[in-house]
Amino acid sequence: MFTTADPDAPVHLAGSLAAVAVGGADDRYRCDMPARQLAIVIDAADPDALRDFWVAAMRYEPFGSAGVYRSATPPPGEAGPKLVFQRVGDPQTSNKNRLHLDIIVGDEIEAETERLVGLGATRVTGLIDEVGTRWIVLADPEGNEFCLVYDT
What is each CA distance from 150 to 25, 95, 108, 111, 128, in whole angstroms?
21, 26, 8, 12, 10
Indicate the burial class of 67 (C-beta count within 10 angstroms; 0-12, 13-18, 19 or more). Answer: exposed
- What's the pLDDT at 38? 73
- What's the pLDDT at 43? 87
- Tell me whether strands 82-87 and 39-44 are parallel, antiparallel or unpaired: parallel
- What's the pLDDT at 32? 67
Q: Which residues contact 147 (CB under 8 A, 6 or more apart)?
A: 100, 101, 102, 103, 135, 136, 137, 138
- SS3 of the chain: the string is CEECCCCCCCCCHHHHHHHHHCCCCCCCCEECCCCCCCEEEEEECCHHHHHHHHHHHHCCEEEEEECCEEEEECCCCCCCCEEEEEECCCCCCCCCCCCCCEEEECCCHHHHHHHHHHHCCEECCCCEEECCEEEEEEECCCCCEEEEEECC
Instruction: Map out the domains of the chain with their CATH numbers.
Output: 27-88 (3.30.720.120), 99-152 (3.10.180.10)
Rounded to 10 deg, the angle between the 109-119 and 47-58 helix axes is 160
Q: What is the pTM of this model?
A: 0.62
Query: What does pLDDT average to in each consecutive run of 10 residues of the chain (152 residues)?
Result: 41 37 53 70 91 96 92 95 88 70 88 95 95 90 90 63
